Amino acid sequence: MFAFGLGLATRARDGALLDVFYPLPAFQPDAGLVQALGGAAAGVREVTDRDLETLARAFADAGVPEHAAVARGCIGAHGPCVLTVLEVDGPIAHIAEAYLKLHLLSWRHCLPNTLNLDGIFAVLPNVAWTSQGPMAPADVGEQALRARVRGDVLKVHAVDKFPPLLDYVIPSGVRIGDGSRIRLGAHLGEGTTVMHEGFVNFNAGTRGAGMIEGRISQGVLVGEQSDLGGSASTQGTLSGGGKERISIGESCLIGANAGTGISLGDRCIIEAGLYVTASTPVCVLDERGDEVRTVKARELSGHSDLLFLRNGRNGRVECRTNRTAVELNQELHAHN
Amino acid sequence: MFAFGLGLATRARDGALLDVFYPLPAFQPDAGLVQALGGAAAGVREVTDRDLETLARAFADAGVPEHAAVARGCIGAHGPCVLTVLEVDGPIAHIAEAYLKLHLLSWRHCLPNTLNLDGIFAVLPNVAWTSQGPMAPADVGEQALRARVRGDVLKVHAVDKFPPLLDYVIPSGVRIGDGSRIRLGAHLGEGTTVMHEGFVNFNAGTRGAGMIEGRISQGVLVGEQSDLGGSASTQGTLSGGGKERISIGESCLIGANAGTGISLGDRCIIEAGLYVTASTPVCVLDERGDEVRTVKARELSGHSDLLFLRNGRNGRVECRTNRTAVELNQELHAHN
Amino acid sequence: MFAFGLGLATRARDGALLDVFYPLPAFQPDAGLVQALGGAAAGVREVTDRDLETLARAFADAGVPEHAAVARGCIGAHGPCVLTVLEVDGPIAHIAEAYLKLHLLSWRHCLPNTLNLDGIFAVLPNVAWTSQGPMAPADVGEQALRARVRGDVLKVHAVDKFPPLLDYVIPSGVRIGDGSRIRLGAHLGEGTTVMHEGFVNFNAGTRGAGMIEGRISQGVLVGEQSDLGGSASTQGTLSGGGKERISIGESCLIGANAGTGISLGDRCIIEAGLYVTASTPVCVLDERGDEVRTVKARELSGHSDLLFLRNGRNGRVECRTNRTAVELNQELHAHN
């Protein structure tokens, strides 16, 4: 079995599901867990309080008390409770599957770009995320009026297909300055700090510790000990720009207000304020500072130990390394 | 009649109005709607539950059941209910007028820069927008203490003259990643997505669909199918910089961390990381890449089919087009 | 006595303190206030309702009714009430001391960089800031499940060591577009507007009026009448970059998407989009526009009346002044 989750869902007034919260999603569950599910068929089904009691006992018998606690905790829920079982990692056909995969990413069970997320935009409805919980956007007006009449306010935090991570998962060992800027489905490695200016999309994130004050676009993965300065940009594949998926290696620094349209290897630096796009002509300098040759930045994609800067004297974009001209030439040729 | 609205207001402890929520503002109402108002004089007046019942019946008789529903829905309100009638689009003299015009913009009844907003800063009080609703900032301290004592928290989202759009209006067909960054009075065209990094001021926005990950300053209007990359900046007329009002045409792309101090026509691109101010010297290149001449960027304001970039080899700001040198010269001369 | 505060604290389920809210912190209290404390020893101690009654009477007798009101207001509190007394401004050893110092900064009793904040990161726990108040991050999962089951939602705004300013202090005469981006411990001078894109860290801020649409990093202080454009960056001492503490003088403008790694004197401008790091080579021009010489930007740190821009014709970073070449040369020599 690929994954399963027991979750609490919210319904719109027309009955459509708006979201599912899985307190403890299971990835590649072992035989005991699978047996406790009692041969539940793949797919999404609603479970009753009686089902939950049965599941709780089965989980307890299987020696997984934390799952038993979740099943018991869901008994008597205000909204529908769903059991989602995925035998394989196929395309997404149901909102409950989408939410389960987003949870798997944020629980660090799976790295970004390792899950089949085909169809996710189609199954996720656009939701108003309010102080009274998820709502269909069309229902907000009436609820806002009612709240006002009784002297209350309805706060609408966002209208989006994806909710904020922190309302569903609190990854261990992270700090997040502004939870409204991290989508559920973000993968934040242990030790990650995302400052208030940082942003992390779903299916994107960090492998381990790092200081993120910039934007990690969908599909982008940042290695350990790498920092993104304030407003630093990584080009994603969803909007504008590139078709290539970008990754950032370990111990990199993308300076404040800088950006990249290419992947970086390890120990790379882009100086503050410089945006390197894939087609930026870059003058490569060897360890002595002598010019080796000028290439499009995309030819440097994924290389390590590079320092990108714009020469303040002549505006030229330069890439400095700690290698000799001969090594550099070989490396660049090998890449052609 | 220019506009009217039936709204629910909030009072500070000293009796001053703090805001008005209009569930269904009416722009250039037809004769039936005007008649249902029963000759209500221009201006702002408080209405009683009895008035609301009369209005509800009149609206129902006039065949506008959605307005009747609002009038009925306001009956019994915790706070004051106001009827605001604007015969003409004059300067703003009352907070209830200011809120009505902000609603008209966000309901897409009026485009940015088409309403008389003179006086809006003077009539709008600075308000603490809290989890208990709008408050005078000076009243927050005591309420925060009381909330704490009873084991509750008073969350203060902002202290500002303008509230967030989504707490008053949910425009159809939009997605907004972080509602705290869009002010009431923003005009978001159908199909607009404002990502978490996007910002839209009042009296600013989009005509139609578009992906907004940058900042739309007061007075700036963005055409259909145009994208603003992450942290992209458009210079407004309120703070710093320009006196000229900027507009962005259709199918433009302002790259991530880029910015503009000039207007763009249609199909223009500013590459990621380049900030074009009105006084930036720009080297204009024809379709063959040959230099035509160097002009201040403001001379290119509003032109179409331009690609702005900074040459990575020599730091020169260039503007490339798909026109010949002769056409370009004529165009630039015509502009002088 | 250096400072004292009577505050309401929140406990995690394991008994640890998570935060302290001081409704009226006292800085360098006069003899009457000190006497009213009745010889309370330096340190942090919990006070009972009886203690609060005694304190309220003593404060009233001492002629400080606003302190008496706070003491009375705390009676019957849901959580613990603490009295924190600091005889001197020593290193921070207790969370209640940390919160008191953060309050002193935000109440404008002390300017950034004037308090001993050693140890603050060690004593501040990482807290989940939720719609139900502060929680230990590990406790959120269960509370989120319970909230869902009863048809409610638990909103988690942030997971951070520092809470938002506005949930603890509302400085007079400020506007803050998005409260989630200003940490408690920020010092916002009277007349400061922090727009939605602005960010202010603890121990950082403004001396007086100003329009802040950019980021004020830890340790950075901005003078009166200075503006930071949208996404403007000031390099802090905590992450990446510099070891030098940056300050910005009066009447400066850092343009949108610009940034600085050096201090600015008064009346300086950095044009939109230009990032000046300490090591940027800058060509200094005199009042006639003639080149004086090229220096590293750090040599210009703290100087007044400078305009930094990147020449659009050749990509060179230039610094223009209103001084003659002779004056400039002397000034730069004096700095060596």
Secondary structure of chain A as H, E, C letters = CCEEEEEEEEECCCCCEEEEECCCCEECCCHHHHHHCCCCCCEEEEECHHHHHHHHHHHHHCCCHHHHHHHHHHCCCCCCEEEEEECCCCCCCCHHHHHHHHHHHHCCCCCCCCCCCCCHHHHCCCEEEECCEEECHHHHHHHHHHHHHCCCCCCEEEEECCCEHHHCCCCCCCEECCHHHEECCEECCCCEEECCCCEECCCEEECCCEEECCEECCCCEECCCEEECCCCEECCCCCCCCCCCCEECCCCEECCCCEECCCECCCCEECCCCEECCCCEEEEECCCCCEEEEEEHHHHCCCCCEEEEECCCCCCEEEEECCCHHHHHHHHHHHC
The greatest distance separating any two alpha carbons of chain A, rounded to the nearest whole angstrom, comes to 76
Amino acid in position B318: E
CA distance C210 to chain A (A): 20
Distance (Å) of CA B135 to CA B129, C217, C239: 6, 30, 37
- Please give the pLDDT value at position C26: 98
**C236: pLDDT strictly greater than 90:** no
Burial environment of residue A113 by CB neighbours within 10 A (0 to 12, 13 to 18, 19 or more)? middle
What tens digit of pLDDT does each residue of A179-189 get? 999 999 999 99
pLDDT for the residue numbered B328: 83
Among A149, A240, A257, beta carbon nearest to B74: A149
Tell me the mean pLDDT in the region B131-140.
97
Q: What integer is the mean pLDDT of B36-62? A: 94
The pLDDT, as a whole number, for residue C108 is: 98
Is the CB of A78 less than 8 angstroms away from the CB of C150?
A: yes
- Closest alpha carbon to C235 in C159, C311, C298: C298
Between residues 190 and 249 of chain C, which touch chain B (CB distance below 8 Å)?
Answer: 196-197, 211, 213, 227, 229-231
Does domain B165-335 match CATH 3.40.50.720?
no
Specify the amino acid at residue A15. Answer: G
Nearest residue on chain A to C280, alpha-carbon basis: A312
The pLDDT tens digits for B267-323 are: 999 999 999 999 999 999 999 999 999 999 999 999 999 999 999 999 999 999 988
Q: What residue of A is the nearest CA neighbor of C140?
A: A170
Q: What number is the average pLDDT over the span C4-27?
A: 97
3-state secondary structure C193-258: EECCCCEECCCEEECCCEEECCEECCCCEECCCEEECCCCEECCCCCCCCCCCCEECCCCEECCCC
Contact status, residue A163 vs residue A19, Cβ threshold 8 Å: yes
B95, pLDDT greater than 70? yes
Mean pLDDT computed over every residue of chain B: 95
pTM, full prediction? 0.97
**pLDDT at C242 > cutoff 60:** no
Confidence of residue C247 (pLDDT cuts 50, 70, 90): very high
Catalytic residue among B66, B97, B190, B213: B213
Identical fold, B3-124 and B165-335: no
- Read off the amino acid at residue A243: K
Flag residues of chain A having pLDDT under 70: 237-243, 335-336
Residue C312, chain A, CB below 8 Å: the answer is no
A293 vs B: CB within 8 A: no
Residue A136 at interface with chain B, using a CB cutoff of 8 Å: no
According to DSSP, the residues that pair with B253 across neighbouring strands are B227, B269
The pLDDT of residue A238 is 56
Contact status, residue C226 vs residue C243, Cβ threshold 8 Å: no
Query: Is A271 among the residues known to form the active site?
Result: no
pLDDT in tens, C96-118: 999 999 999 999 999 999 999 99
C49 falls in which pLDDT band (50, 70, 90)?
A: very high
Answer left, alpha or beta for residue A198, where phi above 0 means left and psi between -120 and 50 means alpha.
Answer: beta
pLDDT at B332: 81
**Tokens read off for C123:** 């004593």
Is the CB of B240 less than 8 angstroms away from the CB of C227? Answer: yes
Which of A233, A274, A296, A298 to probe by mutation at the B interface, max B CB count within 10 Å?
Answer: A233
Domain boundaries A3-123, corresponding CATH code: 3.30.70.2010
Interface test with B, best of A152, A157, A184, A231 (most B CBs within 10 A): A157
Taken in order B104, B106, B110, B112, the sign of the CA dihedral is positive
Q: Per the structure block, which two tokens stand in for C217?
A: 């990093």
| DSSP per position, B16-29 | -EEEEE-SS-EES-
- Give the per-residue pLDDT at A40: 82
Q: What angle (nearest 5°) sits at the alpha carbon of residue A255, between those of residues B222 and A180? A: 55
Least CB-CB distance to B170: which of A128, A258, A282?
A128
pLDDT for C228 equals: 98
- A275 touching chain B per CB within 8 A: yes
3 state DSSP class of C145? helix
What burial class does residue A50 get, using C-beta atoms within 10 Å of its C-beta: 0-12 exposed, 13-18 middle, 19+ buried?
Answer: exposed
Chain C: residue nearest B131 by CA?
Answer: C131
pLDDT in tens, C112-165: 999 999 999 999 999 999 999 999 999 999 999 999 999 999 999 999 999 999
Q: So what's the pLDDT on residue A264?
A: 97
Distance of CA B13 to the CA centre of its chain: 29
pLDDT at residue B68 tops 90: yes
State the first-to-last Cα distance of chain A, in angstroms, to the nearest integer. 43
Note the pLDDT of residue A335: 59
A160/B contact by beta carbon, under 8 A: yes
| CA dihedral (A263, A269, A273, A276) positive or negative | negative
- Inter-residue contact C227 to C266 (CB < 8 Å): no
Split at pLDDT 50, 70, 90, the class of C243 is low
Q: What is the DSSP code (8-state) at residue C269? A: E
Closest C-alpha to C133, from A298, B154, B285, B294: B154
Nearest one of B292, C131, B38 to A157, comparing CA atoms: C131
Quote the tokens at residue A39.
């041969």
Which CA distances in Å does A260 have to A249, B134, B316, C38, C107? 13, 42, 20, 61, 41
Residue B161 has its nearest CB partner, among C78, C132, C175, at: C175
pLDDT value at residue A240: 47
* ipTM, two decimals: 0.96
Residue B167 contacts A where some CB pair is shorter than 8 Å: yes
CB B159 within 8 A of CB C157: no
CATH class of B3-124: alpha beta
Q: Which H or E element spans position B206?
A: strand B204-206
A149 vs B77, B172, B180: nearest CB:
B77
What residues contact residue C283 under an 8 Å CB cut-off, 6+ apart? Answer: A313, C291, C293, C294, C316, C317, C318, C319
Residue C41 is predicted with a pLDDT of: 86
Shortest alpha-carbon distance between residue B330 and chain A (Å): 30
Measure CA of the first residue to CA of the last residue in chain B; give whole Å. 43
Listed by start position, the domains of chain C span 3-124, 129-160, 165-335
